[in-house]
């Protein structure tokens, strides 16, 4: 293996969504160096941070049927029962919800928690309050997915935060998707909620660090009941 190939294997790839931002940070750093070297070094550090923010590493996803993996990197901020977003029209039954908060240092690529088909994607404009607050689930800008995995449906909601100003979607309605496959990203600090079938017991705890596409959030085969939604 050549030295160049070896170096490439050690460098975490950056998603193309981040290239314009990294370029802007780099250009500003060059100007700052010209004005005053210490400012240039600050700009360089921020450029490195920007590159790390948009990193897009490969993940090794468990493949056993019934496993639900984390849709986002970050801290499991809350595990409660809550009603899914009303714009999805799936009823008013409270379901187990696992919320993962992503700070500005986490990888922000979001991934499908299960293998299945994307049944619906619904975007809703909203506010940009702190994503850690409960009311962020109701008031903030968000993008929701219903992913059908056989007779089970999983809901994933991307929620913009205090700093985040854009939700990016990679997937499309009707597409088949694998567990761990990239479905989108949120730019600069935010939260992702995953709603589990009624009766499901989450296998993570509040405060735990989750790794998108790898951390097992729940096991749908562990004595859970089938989820059915009331449409309308």
Contact (CB, 8 A) for 107 and 212? yes
Burial 196-225 (b: 16+ CB within 10 A, else e): bbbebebebeeebebbbbebbbbbbeeebe
What span, in angstroms and rounded, lies between the C-alpha atoms of 109 and 106? 9
State the catalytic residue, choosing from 29, 99, 144, 190.
190
Contact (CB, 8 A) for 195 and 169? no
What span, in angstroms and rounded, lies between the C-alpha atoms of 40 and 184? 32
Contact (CB, 8 A) for 99 and 133? no
190 carries an active-site annotation: yes
Main-chain dihedrals φ then ψ at residue 72, nearest 5 degrees: -150, 155
Main-chain dihedrals φ then ψ at residue 110, nearest 5 degrees: -100, 145
Task: Using DSSP bridges, classify how beta strands 209-210 and 167-169 pair: parallel, antiparallel or unpaired.
Answer: unpaired
Residue (of 79, 68, 141, 164) closest to 111 by Cα position:
68
Just list the catalytic residues.
Answer: 190
């Amino acid at each position: 293996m050549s030295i160049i190939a070896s170096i490439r294997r050690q460098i975490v790839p950056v998603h193309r969504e981040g290239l314009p931002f990294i370029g802007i940070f780099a250009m500003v750093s060059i100007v700052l160096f010209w004005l005053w070297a210490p400012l240039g070094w600050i700009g360089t550090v921020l450029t490195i941070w920007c590159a790390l923010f948009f990193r897009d590493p490969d993940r090794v996803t468990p493949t056993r049927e019934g496993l639900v993996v984390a849709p986002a990197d970050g801290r499991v901020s809350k595990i409660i029962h809550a009603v899914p977003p009303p714009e999805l029209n799936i009823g008013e039954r409270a379901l187990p919800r696992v919320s993962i908060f992503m700070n500005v240092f986490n990888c922000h690529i979001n991934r499908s928690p299960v293998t299945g088909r994307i049944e619906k994607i619904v975007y809703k404009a909203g506010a940009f309050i702190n994503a850690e607050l409960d009311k962020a689930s109701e008031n903030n800008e968000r993008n929701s997915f219903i992913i059908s995995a056989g007779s089970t449906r999983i809901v994933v909601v991307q929620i913009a935060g205090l700093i985040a100003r854009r939700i990016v979607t990679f997937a499309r309605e009707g597409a088949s998707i694998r567990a761990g496959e990239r479905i989108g990203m949120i730019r600069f600090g935010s939260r992702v909620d995953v709603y589990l079938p009624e009766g499901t017991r989450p296998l993570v705890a509040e405060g735990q660090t989750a790794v998108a596409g790898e951390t097992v959030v729940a096991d749908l085969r562990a004595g859970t009941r089938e989820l059915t939604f009331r449409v309308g």
